[in-house]
Amino acid sequence: MKRYMIFILLGLAICGGCFSLKTEHKVEVEPIHITMDINVKVQQDLEKFLDLED
């Protein structure tokens, strides 16, 4: 029984050394375009509110 275990472990060790895994990461970073819409009425109301505090 011990002989079979030795052969099995030896076989697994030999087969385990044959496998290899190679990974490559290709990451491309693209620019992000952000469009901001400014509401003029809100801006005017905010300016009026801030002028009242002075």
**pLDDT tens-digit readout, 1-44:** 677 788 888 777 776 666 677 778 778 888 888 877 667 788 78
pLDDT above 60: residue 54: no
- Report if pTM > 0.75: no
User: Measuring CA to CA, which residue among 52, 54, 34, 35 is closest to residue 44?
Assistant: 52
Q: Which long-range contacts (CB under 8 A, 24 or more apart) does 50-54 make?
A: none
**Residue for token pair 């491309």:** 28
